Amino acid sequence: MIADQPVLSISEVPGFVAAGGIIELYREKKRTRFQINLGVARKLNLEISSKLLRMAKVIGYQEIP
C-alpha cells in the first residue's frame, strides 16, 4: 500500500494535508503558497529541508486516514 511507502505527495486539493497528504499548494493574494504536513512526512521517514519548512505553513497532523 502506498500509504506505508516514503512517497512525497503534492496536491492543490483543498484539505489535502488534513486528509494525510504531505504538501498542499494554495493561492493567497495572487501568490502560490504551500502547507506541509510534517507529522505525516516524519511518520514516513521523509526528510524535509529546513529551508523549505521556513517558507511553508507547517501543519502537524499525525494521522493517515
pLDDT digits over 34-45, tens only?
999 999 898 889
* Strand locations in 1-65 (E): 10-11, 23-28, 31-37, 57-59
Give the pLDDT confidence of 16-61 residue by residue, as tens digits. Answer: 999 989 999 999 999 999 999 999 898 889 999 999 999 999 987 4
pLDDT class of 7 with cuts at 50, 70, 90:
confident
Contacts for 20 with CB less than 8 Å, ≥ 6 apart:
3, 37, 40, 61, 63, 64, 65
What are the start-end ranges of the H helices in 14-56?
Answer: 38-43, 50-55
